[in-house]
């Protein structure tokens, strides 16, 4: 039941990268990827690698497949419009036999704590995925171009300390707002506004999972939604209600249970 619920919520929030990733880790099983069929005569030399760790870059992807299979012509990780890994990429081999061998040997294999998917692909599909990935992230992810949302902050953190940290590590910060509950207790989350979109992208790349005051921060795109003074999303009409409700529930869950769950969620 928990697995089914996690999958359902993941579909609703598929453009909210951090939460989607978190729910993926909570889900024990996942549906197998749809595979394209190729005849032996077509002889494709490329494979599509999915469910990769976000820390994997193109060089590491190439090195891994070369060590396991050999003779890689090129490997490329797809990036979103912030320049971050989308967790998917392609690998081109010198022969189609090597590509098929990669699918047989590495599909569903665990690498960097993730069970990766490896399936045959071609130039047309690679180009489509490259274009669609960036375009969909730009259109669907209803985000603010110059703001990030922080979670898992130490309760003792102050807005000035956070501003100084991000100013030193990233660059120009316009303002920082940390949220507290109705009793004035810190909620461990907040918003930072930067001077431009480039600094926002840099903050996400560099500061996500950055350890500060004994906690690893979560730094994500800030959704373009209205919030009350405590940081909770205000109600909206339309399909956005499901996402806003879920984000509020997750925020409350992290507030109330993050210490006992810390070793599981943020280790």
Cα-Cα-Cα-Cα dihedral sign, residues 204, 208, 213, 215: positive
How many CB atoms within 10 Å of residue 94? 12
241 within 8 A of 235, measured Cβ to Cβ: yes
Burial 34-46 (b: 16+ CB within 10 A, else e): eeeebeeeeebbb
pTM over 0.85: no
Residue-wise pLDDT for 55-91, tens only, equals: 899 999 999 999 999 889 999 998 876 667 888 999 9
The CATH number of 143-265 is which of 1.10.3720.10, 3.30.70.330, 3.40.30.10, 3.30.70.260?
Answer: 3.30.70.330
Q: Do domains 35-140 and 143-265 have the same CATH topology?
A: yes
First to last CA, the chain: 25
- Which CATH architecture is the domain 35-140 placed in? 2-Layer Sandwich (3.30)
Q: Residue ranges of the domains in the chain?
A: 35-140, 143-265
Residue-wise pLDDT for 212-243, tens only, equals: 999 999 998 888 888 888 888 776 544 445 55
């Amino acid at each position: 039941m928990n697995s089914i619920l996690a999958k359902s919520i993941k579909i609703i929030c598929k453009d909210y990268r951090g939460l989607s990733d978190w729910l993926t880790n909570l889900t024990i099983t996942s549906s197998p990827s749809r595979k394209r069929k190729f005849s032996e005569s077509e002889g494709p030399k490329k494979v599509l690698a999915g469910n990769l760790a976000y820390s994997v870059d193109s060089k590491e992807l190439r090195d891994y497949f070369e060590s396991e299979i050999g003779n890689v012509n090129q490997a490329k990780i797809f990036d979103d419009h912030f320049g971050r890994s989308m967790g998917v990429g392609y690998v081109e081999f010198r022969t189609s036999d090597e590509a098929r061998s990669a699918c047989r040997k590495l599909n569903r294999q665990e690498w960097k704590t993730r069970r990766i998917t490896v399936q045959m692909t071609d130039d047309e599909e690679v180009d489509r995925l490259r274009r669609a990935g960036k375009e969909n992230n730009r259109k669907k992810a209803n985000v603010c171009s110059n703001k990030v949302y922080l979670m898992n902050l130490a309760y003792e953190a102050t807005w000035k300390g956070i501003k100084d940290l991000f100013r030193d590590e990233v660059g120009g910060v316009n303002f920082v707002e940390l949220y507290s509950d109705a009793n004035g207790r810190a909620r461990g989350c907040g918003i930072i506004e930067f001077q431009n979109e480039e600094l926002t992208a840099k903050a996400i790349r560099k500061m996500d999972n950055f350890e500060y005051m004994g906690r690893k921060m979560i730094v994500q795109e800030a959704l373009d939604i209205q919030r009350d003074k405590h940081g909770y999303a205000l109600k909206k009409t339309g399909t956005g209600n499901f996402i806003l409700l879920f984000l509020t529930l997750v925020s409350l869950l992290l507030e109330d249970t993050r210490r006992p769950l810390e070793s599981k969620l943020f280790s």
